[in-house]
Amino acid sequence: MPRAHTVLPAGYWDAAKAVGTVTLDFDHRCRRRLRLERDGSAGAFLLDLPSPRHIRDGDGLVLTGVGIVAVRAAPEDLMEVRCEAIADLLRMAWHIGNRHIPAELRGDRLRIRADHVLADMLTGLGAIVTPVSAPFDPEGGAYGDSPAGGGHGHSHGHGHDHDHGHDHHHHGHGHG
């Protein structure tokens, strides 16, 4: 079975020379090792990267002995979040980020995965929330282009017990 060990970023390879496509949702574009099927029953291959990474729409997967397969982002059930004022949209982005929810920034709107609890919260805060079906390409985060799953930990790096309150630990994002 052919293996893909390398990802070429969109724009750094000739997409016209692709030997096929693979259409993946966001979760399947954030993997290290996974058996994949090329679109149109063109054959299976093994994604076998050195480490997990966020593969984006338009990237190319180099299949050993085969060529480059173009990655396409599959449409997913998402919500678009809009506000009348940009300051309100920034406030919504803060609430989404405070919950470590992957978000795609689209200028005058945000896209997040469909979630009725988040929809209710954001609507209650004044946002206009609309369901959409579209490819999802959220920001990589402050800790690199890591898969959506949180990214960073909260270890404190000091050697004492934690039988006390954490009032002295200020993470700056709601984990006090």
**102 vs 153, residue with greater confidence:** 102
* Domains in the chain with CATH codes: 3-73 (2.60.260.20), 75-135 (3.30.70.790)
Alpha carbon distance 17, 31 (integer Å): 24
So what's the pLDDT on residue 56?
Answer: 94
pTM of the predicted structure, to 2 decimals: 0.74
- The three-state secondary structure class of 113 is strand
So what's the pLDDT on residue 42?
Answer: 83
Average pLDDT of the residues in 55-77 = 96
